[in-house]
Structure 1
Amino acid sequence: MRKLIAGNWKMNGLVSSQAEIEALKGLTGSATCDIVVCPPFTLIDRAVERARDSNLAIGAQDCHARQSGAHTGDVSAEMLANIGARYVILGHSERRVSHGEDDGIILAKAVAAHRAGLVAIVCVGETRHERDEGRAIEVVGGQLRESVPEGATSANLVIAYEPVWAIGTGLVPTNEQIEEVHAAIRQMLKERLGNDGQSVKILYGGSVKVSNAEAIFGLRNVDGALVGGASLKASEFAGIISAAI
C-alpha cells in the first residue's frame, strides 16, 4: 500500500510560509508515497496554487457540518473543495479538548466532507489515563465506531491514530503498542467495511520525527503518518517523507 504522509501545520504559517510548499513540490514524484499538507484556512488557496502541477495535495484542518448558513467563523467542506482542498482533518484531540467536539460532531463533519468530495482524515486516540487503565483499544474502538459515517470507503476515509499523550510531547509509544492499536483498528475497519477495510490507510501520529520515522513506518498496519510540528519546515518534513519511500 502506498504510504501517506500528511502535515498538520495547526495555527502556524504566514504568507511567507508558502516557500515551504514550493520546496516540497520536488519531493512528491515517488510512486510509493502520497503527500498532503494541511495549512491554516488563510493559506489554503495560496498553497493550492503553489502545489499546482505537482503530486502534492492540500488539505484543511477542520470543517463545519453544514453546507452554508449563519455559522460565524466557520468554513464548510464545500468551501474547502471549491478552493482546491482535497483532504480535511477531523476529530484531532486538540479539537476534541479545546472545542468540546465529541464523536457525534465529528461524524457529522465526516458526512459533510464526503458530501463535498473530500477525503476525511479521522483522528482517534487515548489519553495517558485511559492508556494506564488498559482502555486504549476500547476508547479508540468507540471513537472509530461513532465517528466514521455510513458510505465510508478506502477512497474517502483515512484513520489517524494519535495517542493524546504523545502529541507534541516527544513521547512515543513502544513499537508493540503502536502495532497493537493499528492491528485493532484494521480489524474494526474490516468488520465495518468488509474487504475494503484492508485498504483504508491507517496513519500514526504523535511526535513523529526524522529520527523515529523509519522504524514507525516499518511496523505492520502503519500506512503513513500525520505529522505536526515537524511538517512546518520542508527540510525536516522531507526527511520523514524519505523514510517512507
Structure 2
Amino acid sequence: MTGPSTLLALNWKMNKTPSEAAAWARELLASLPALPAGTALAIMAPAIDLPALQTALTGSSVQYGAQDVSAHASGAYTGETSTAMLQDVGARFAVVGHSERREYHAESSAVVAAKTRAAMAAGVVPIVCVGEGLAVREQGEHVNYTLDQLRDSLDGVTLTDPASLVVAYEPVWAIGTGKTATALDAEELCAAIRTALTGLLGDAGAQVQVLYGGSVKGGNIAEICGQPNVNGALVGGAALEVQSVLDMVNALA
C-alpha cells in the first residue's frame, strides 16, 4: 500500500549516560548519509539523555523521543516524566507499552491507553507497542491476542491526523533473543493491525505507521521493511552502535 513513510526508531533501553549519548550522536552525524526520501530516523533514549540529544541533534534530520511518558500532566507522581517535560527538551516521540514495561512494571493495557491519550493530547507522538509471547504464538493465538491488546491499548483514542500515532508490533519471543520473525510473520501481524486500526480509528487509522520490532539489524531490515504493511522498525540491540545504525540506514536506501 502507499501512504505511511518509513520510521527507523532506535530504542536504547537503559543504556548510555548523557555524555555517552552526546558523543554517540556526534559520531552518528559525522557519518550519516542523507536519509532516503520518506525515511525518518529517531532515537528513543532514557529521559536523562534527552537534553544532551537536544544539544547534539538540533538542526539535524535526526529526531528523538522518550521510552515512556506519564498519563498525568503534573503533580505527586514521583519518578514519572510528563509530556510538558518531554516537549521542553524537543522530544517528538514517546514509546508506550513496551513489553518490558508491561512485564517488569505491570503496566496494563488500560494504563497504556491513558498514556497514549495523554501523549496525543499534548502533541507528543506515542509509539504504542503490542505483541505476543512464545506460548501464545505456539498456540496459534498470536493474531487474536495482539489485536485484543491493540484495542485495549487504544481505548478512548480518537484520530484525525495519522502522523499523531505510531504502532509497533513486537513479538516478545523475538526481542533480544536473536530470534526474528520472518518478513512474512511481520507482514501478517502488521497487516492485521492496519485492518484493526482502520476499524477502530477510521480512514486515518489506515495511514498510521506500523513498525516491526524484534532483533532487527542491517542484514534483515530491508526485507522486513519491504513488506507492504511494515512502515519501519523499532530497533533494540542494533541501535547501540553507530556502525550498525549506519548499516540499517544503508540497507533501507
Within 1, Cα distance between the matches of 2:217 and 2:236? 9
Whether the aligned pair in 2 keeps the contact of 1:121 and 1:159 (CA below 8 Å) is: yes
Q: Is 2:9 the partner of 1:2?
A: no
TM-score (norm 1): 0.96
Q: 2:86 aligns with which of 80, 83, 88?
A: 80
> 1:194 offset after TM fit, Å?
2.0
Q: 2:144 aligns with which of 138, 143, 149?
A: 138
SS in 1 for 2:36: coil
Q: How does 1:158-197 map to 2 (within 5 A)?
A: 158-197=166-205
Q: 2:225 aligns with which of 207, 213, 217?
A: 217
Whether the aligned pair in 2 keeps the contact of 1:3 and 1:34 (CA below 8 Å) is: yes
Q: 2:210 aligns with which of 171, 195, 202?
A: 202
Q: How does 1:44-63 map to 2 (within 5 A)?
A: 44-63=50-69
One-letter amino acid of the structure 2 residue matched with residue 204 of structure 1 = Y
Partner of 2:113: 107
Within 2, Cα distance between the matches of 1:173 and 1:201? 19
Q: 1:67 aligns with which of 73, 82, 89?
A: 73
Q: How many residues in Structure 1 have an aligned counterpart in Structure 2?
A: 245
The ranges of structure 1 where at least 4 consecutive aligned residues each deviate by more than 6 angstroms after the TM superposition are: none
Unaligned stretches of 5+ in structure 1?
none
> 1:28 offset after TM fit, Å?
5.1
Within 2, Cα distance between the matches of 1:104 and 1:33? 31
> 1:223 offset after TM fit, Å?
0.4
Partner of 1:117: 123
Q: CA RMSD in A?
A: 1.3
Whether the aligned pair in 2 keeps the contact of 1:3 and 1:244 (CA below 8 Å) is: no
Unaligned stretches of 5+ in structure 2?
none
SS in 2 for 1:45: helix
> 1:224 offset after TM fit, Å?
0.3
Within 1, Cα distance between the matches of 2:180 and 2:101? 21
TM-score (norm 2): 0.93
Whether the aligned pair in 2 keeps the contact of 1:88 and 1:120 (CA below 8 Å) is: yes
Deviations 1:203-243 (A, max 9, x none): 00000011111111111201000000111111111111222
